[in-house]
Amino acid sequence: MRAFIPVAVFVLLAGVMAWGLLWRGDKDMLRSTFIEKPAPDFALPKLLNESETVSNEDLKGDGPVVVNFWASWCAPCRVEHPELVKLASEGVRVVGINYKDDDENAKKFLTWLGNPFEAVGVDENGRTGITYGVAGLPETFVLDADGTILYKHVGPINPGELDEKIRPAIEAARR
C-alpha cells in the first residue's frame, strides 16, 4: 500500500504536466500590450542589402503590413513559410524580422523556400523582438497603414489560421 502512494502521486503529476504541455488553448490569450498602439521604434540593417535599414517608418503607408519574426533555425518557421508566400502573392505587404540568426543561413532559407518579404531586417541581438514582446518564434503582427498593431499571432500560421485569423485582421486593417 505504501508503494502505491508515490506511484499515484507521480502519475497524477505527470498527467497534469502532460495536459499543460499539450493543451494549447487559445493562443490569442498571449495578447500583445501593443494591440491598438503604434509599433515600437526600431531600425535594423537589411538582410539582403546591409547598407540600407528597415525601420518602423517603413511599416507605415501603403495599406496593411504583416510583420513576421522568423529564423532559419526555427522549424515552425519553415512550416508557416508557404502561408507567408501566399499572402505576398496576393499583394499583401510582408516584412520579415530575422531573429538571432546567421545571415548566410537566412539567405539560404529564402533562396530555398522563396522570399515573401518586401524587406528583411536583421535582429542580430534580439532587441527588436524583445521590444515587440516576442516570446518564441514564429510570431506575426498585422499593422494598419498608420503603423498601429491590430493583431498578434503566436506560433506558426497554418492554412486554417491564415483564413480564420490573419486574413480577417488584414481586412480590418484595410478599413
pLDDT in tens, 124-171: 999 999 999 999 999 999 999 999 999 999 999 999 999 999 999 999
| Structure-model confidence comparison of residues 11 and 100, the more confident one | 100
The residues near 150 (Cβ < 8 Å, ≥ 6 apart) are 35, 36, 64, 142, 143, 144, 169, 172, 173
What residues are paired with 121 via a beta bridge? 46, 97
Q: What is the pLDDT of residue 61?
A: 87
Q: What is the pLDDT of residue 33?
A: 79
pLDDT tens, residue by residue, 16-50 = 665 554 554 554 445 567 899 999 999 999 998 88
Domain boundaries, the chain: 26-174
- The CA radius of gyration of the chain, in Å to the nearest whole number, is 19
Question: Degrees (nearest 5) of the Cα angle 148, 149, 152?
Answer: 175
CATH topology of domain 26-174: Glutaredoxin (3.40.30)
